[in-house]
Amino acid sequence: MKNIPLTNLSNINRYSGTYLIKSESVSDHVWGMVSIALTYLPNINKNKASKGLKEIDLKELIYKINIHDIDEAFYTDIPRPFKWYDAGIHDQIERVSQCLMQENLSLELIEDINSAKDNSLEGIWVTILDFVQSGCKMMHEINLGNRYIKSELPNVVECLNNLRDKFCELNHIGYIYEIEFIDNWVNQLVNYE
């Protein structure tokens, strides 16, 4: 039987080097994002439709969520502070990631993975949900008694606020529900800080 490397996502733990009471695999993270999307976005789409705004293609979004971290099946979850420490480190991680994916995946799938967080409405939501799910995991850990993870929450809040600021800079009514969604989650997260 041929090894299927993508099944490795259930073995890749997130938050490397950070104490967790309940570990989380990349598969858990992806399913968490899907769950949040399926819970909140149908209502957001209904509100967008009532105002004549472009709706989120939920099928496209679920696809993008499911593939956005596939590269980690080949090299693991690299902690954000290390991965983004400087451009040189990030560029080398990206280069190796691309090489490993080319050895294991079709070019079409690699293109889809690389564009999962593009500037499309669905790509923007992948980015939002990525941070929101991380915040949910941290709140869950805090509820379990993990006080250490509280120090990580400000990073998630900052990333969500930066996204919100970008939407506000665009000054476009089409993003009012994205801004509202982010604001609601940031308010919940800051109560845990």
User: What CATH number does residue 71 fall under?
Assistant: 1.10.3210.10
- Distance CA(10)–CA(192), nearest Å, equals 28
Structure tokens at 123: 């790509």
The DSSP symbol for 78 reads: P
- Distance CA(185)–CA(136), nearest Å, equals 9
pLDDT in tens, 180-191: 999 999 999 998
- Distance CA(177)–CA(94), nearest Å, equals 32
CB 159 within 8 A of CB 134: no
pTM: 0.89
Number of structural domains (the chain) is 1
Q: Is 171 left (phi over 0), alpha (psi -120 to 50) or beta?
A: left
3-state secondary structure of 25: strand
Full residue range of the structural domain in which residue 37 is found: 5-190
CB 134 within 8 A of CB 142: no
Structure tokens at 33: 């994002």
pLDDT in tens, 19-55: 889 999 889 999 999 999 999 999 999 999 999 999 9
**Is 131 or 13 the better-scoring residue by pLDDT?**
131
**Is 173 or 20 the better-scoring residue by pLDDT?**
20
Q: Which of 162, 83, 58, 72 is nearest to 113 (CA)?
A: 72
CB 181 within 8 A of CB 40: yes
**Max Cα separation, the chain?**
54
Residue type, 141: E
**What contacts 94, CB < 8 A, 6 or more positions away?**
none
> Whose structure tokens read 């900052």?
158
- Distance CA(93)–CA(84), nearest Å, equals 10
**Is 69 or 7 the better-scoring residue by pLDDT?**
69
pLDDT in tens, 93-137: 788 888 888 988 899 999 999 999 999 999 999 999 999 999 999
- HSE, side-chain direction, 13 A CA sphere, residue 173: 6
